[in-house]
Amino acid sequence: MLFREQDGTGPDLVADYFLRDLSAEELEQLQDQLRNCPDARKRFAEAGSQEWLLSDLHHADEVRMVHFTPRRARSRRIRAIAAGVALLLTIGTLYTARHTQLAKRVAADRDAVVVARVADCYVLDGTAISVVNDGRVGKLGPRSTIHSGDHIHVPEGCRLSFTYLNESTRIEASGGTMVAVADDGGAKRLFLRKGGLAADVAKQQPGKPMRLATPDAEAEVLGTSFELLVSGSTRLYVSSGCVRFLAKEKGSWVDVAAGFTADTASGARETGSYQSRRFHPVVDGTPEGDVDPRFIAVDPERNYTGMLRFELGELGGRIIEARLRLRVMRMQLDYGGSGDVRLFIRNLRAGMGGGLRQVAHYCGNVGGDMDLEFEIDPDALGDGACEFQIRLDTGGNDFWFSSSRGSVPPELLLKIETKETGEGK
Amino acid sequence: MVLRTFYANQGALRGYVFSATRDYHATEDILQETAIVVAKKASEIDAGRPLLPWFLGIARYQVLRWNRARGREGGHVSFELLEEFIPFYVEFENEQAAQRRSALKDCVEKLPPNQRRVVRLRYEEHMDCPGIAESIGHSIQAIYSLLKRMKQDLRKCVELKLAHQEVQ
């Protein structure tokens, strides 16, 4: 049965139900149809599953977890495993969060090699940085140890950094990261499934380089600082030293030097140089409200929206990555701890009419002292001034970010391609 | 046993919750919350009794909590009516949906660029129709019509692809 309008005589309430909020009267009409009309019931079920599938198509990867139990891998299909792991993680989070004794026992039972220790972490209320190893589930906190074989999930809005034992190598994982840690006879191994890592790697023993893998790339490191990001493709930024980089599809390694970047989207045959720049707003605040100038407040109920204006000047190259980082200072939990925060850009270029366009969206928990980081489409930015507006969807809480006059000013972090290019070896 | 039954009924629960919230992320969150409650109380439950009604009751409570947190009062088809749709929710099971998802993916990729943009705004950015209308400079009514037409076309396309696969 096809999804269709109802004989052209009125709105198709079945279709509308999944597109907008119906009025009380419309909802009653729809329920009458569902009670009395088999065709409407069938269309309702079909419309619901189609709507869900369309969302699942765009977000399925976000909720699929790293597989960790080899025995089950052989016997079940990936999606079933992923759902099972998600459930197990949930249960693990529950137990570790609410039954400390069990968490301690799980941690004490782990006999895998300890490779690193948590140096710093930020965890939102109601969430946990989960760690799974050989089917056992726990959570990471300050000073927790990290074992070979650990699969770590850092939820959106949280962050984790850890240092390897007996050396200064430090890894920082951003929110939304899934990474597995392993030790291969003293050589460090990381598998970054999703998200981003910043690494500061001390000089490694001869013959034992640190190796990082992503779904479509590998990197080999002897001692350097770099960032590795997985979002569709894999992108590497090297800030010091040198990293060997392999795009698996191409099959050949390139050496990426300090100040250069490579990504699997370009096949890593050619690396480009880049420059990191950070900007603070020239003007920011809450235009509609009488708000302490140390804060940028967003509150749908009082119609508060945040505003930030940056002067980027002459950038001298194409922007390849743009992030806006805001520090959450306060919040009102009128509606619980989560929120839908949307970031819009106002086009200030001549002839563009000054219209607003959404460039980023954060949906999830928010907590005090959290850095809320928006990844912005680089094409939305260019030379000169740019202005952002921050809004919260109706029904959210109100959030207060530090302004440029507050203790942790907003930062616009840009990576800009410079003209120099290097050929892959 | 209780958790195995919960897992086996995930598709039905997902369909039930999604039909009430119409929000993909909220549905996954509510399923997680429901799993937490089930895990917590599993030892107290007589595994011999029908478990699905118990799971549905927990999920229902979580949906009500979610509604309250969003400042919403109902606004969805009644839970009693939604329970009648449980047999239809098999397509919300990841395994069952795999073939349909793959066909839908192909069909979405074939949409004209303007429709793909609307799909991205709606299902990736989670914008509502007024937001999409503002973002791309169309009227809200035009967006409603476009989405309905597009979903109709996608449904036809998916059915054709699945029928073709069956023939092969």
Question: CA of B67 to nearest chain A CA: how many angstroms apart?
Answer: 10
Taking only residues 351 to 380 of chain A, the set having a beta carbon closer than 8 angstroms to any beta carbon of chain B reads: 355-358, 361, 363
Instruction: State which residue of chain B sits closest to A365, comparing Cα positions.
Output: B29
CB contact under 8 A, B151 and A3: yes
Encoded tokens for A347: 């086009």
Query: CATH number of the domain that A342 lies in?
Result: 2.60.120
Q: Residue A321 sits in which domain range?
A: 277-417
More confident residue, A424 or A201: A201
Q: Is residue A264 part of a domain?
A: no
Q: Is residue A48 part of a domain?
A: no
Is residue A419 over pLDDT 70?
Answer: no
Condensed to tens digits (0 to 9), the pLDDT of residues A76-117 reads 333 333 344 444 444 444 443 333 222 222 333 345 788 999
Chain B contact present for A53, CB below 8 A:
yes
Could you tell me the residue ranges of all domains in chain B? 1-93, 110-168
Condensed to tens digits (0 to 9), the pLDDT of residues A154-165 reads 887 788 999 998
Question: CA of B122 to nearest chain A CA: how many angstroms apart?
Answer: 8
Is residue A129 over pLDDT 50?
Answer: yes
Share of chain A above pLDDT 90, in %: 23
* Per-residue pLDDT at A138: 75
DSSP state of B123: I
Residue A320's CB: how many other CB atoms inside 10 A?
A: 16
Of residues B70, B60, B54, B55, the one with CA closest to residue B19: B60
* Per-residue pLDDT at B44: 77
Residue A319's CB: how many other CB atoms inside 10 A?
A: 21
Average pLDDT over residues A127-145: 77
The mean pLDDT value of chain A amounts to 77
CB contact under 8 A, A361 and B126: yes
Minimum-distance CB partner of B147 among A19, A35, A394 = A19
Question: CA of A353 to nearest chain B CA: how many angstroms apart?
Answer: 12
**Is the pTM of the predicted complex or chain greater than 0.95?**
no
Please, what is the angle between helix A78-98 and helix B24-41, to 10°?
60
B contact test, residue of A4, A52, A79, A95 with most B CBs within 10 A:
A52
Q: Is residue A355 part of a domain?
A: yes
Q: Is residue A4 part of a domain?
A: no
* Per-residue pLDDT at A396: 56
* Per-residue pLDDT at A219: 92
Chain B contact present for A54, CB below 8 A:
yes
Q: How many domains does chain A have?
A: 1
Q: Which residues in chain B have their CB less than 8 angstroms from residue A31's CB?
A: 77-78, 81
Q: Is residue A140 part of a domain?
A: no
Condensed to tens digits (0 to 9), the pLDDT of residues A173-218 reads 988 888 999 998 889 999 998 889 999 999 888 888 899 999 888 9
* Per-residue pLDDT at A310: 93
Tell me the C-alpha distance between B62 and B54, whole Å.
13
pLDDT band at A62 (very low <50, low <70, confident <90, very high): very low
Question: CA of B37 to nearest chain A CA: how many angstroms apart?
Answer: 9
CB contact under 8 A, B85 and A44: yes
Q: Is residue A357 part of a domain?
A: yes
Condensed to tens digits (0 to 9), the pLDDT of residues A336-360 reads 556 678 889 886 665 555 678 888 8
Question: In chain B, which stretches have pLDDT less than 50?
Answer: none
Question: CA of B71 to nearest chain A CA: how many angstroms apart?
Answer: 5
Minimum-distance CB partner of B36 among A19, A90, A394 = A90
Q: Which residues in chain B have their CB less than 8 angstroms from residue A81's CB?
A: none
* Per-residue pLDDT at B167: 59
Is residue A73 over pLDDT 50?
Answer: no
* Per-residue pLDDT at A98: 37
Is residue A134 over pLDDT 80?
Answer: no
Q: Fold for B110-168, please state it.
A: Arc Repressor Mutant, subunit A (1.10.10)
More confident residue, B21 or A379: B21
* Per-residue pLDDT at B96: 62
Give CA A294 to chain center in angstroms: 27
Q: Is residue A311 part of a domain?
A: yes
CB contact under 8 A, A59 and B100: no
Is residue A128 over pLDDT 70?
Answer: yes
Sequence-separated (6 or more) residues with CB below 8 Å from residue A337: A124, A125, A126, A331, A365, A366, A367, A397
ipTM: 0.92
pLDDT band at A410 (very low <50, low <70, confident <90, very high): very high
Q: Evaluate whether A415 touches A321 at the Cβ level (below 8 Å).
A: yes
CB contact under 8 A, B6 and A87: yes
Of residues A174, A209, A211, A210, the one with CA closest to residue A194: A174
Q: Which residues in chain B have their CB less than 8 angstroms from residue A46's CB?
A: 155
Count Cβ–Cβ pairs < 8 Å, chain A vs chain B.
157
Q: Is residue A239 part of a domain?
A: no
Integer Rg of chain B from CA: 19
More confident residue, A316 or B97: A316
Instruction: State which residue of chain B sits closest to A42, comparing Cα positions.
Output: B88
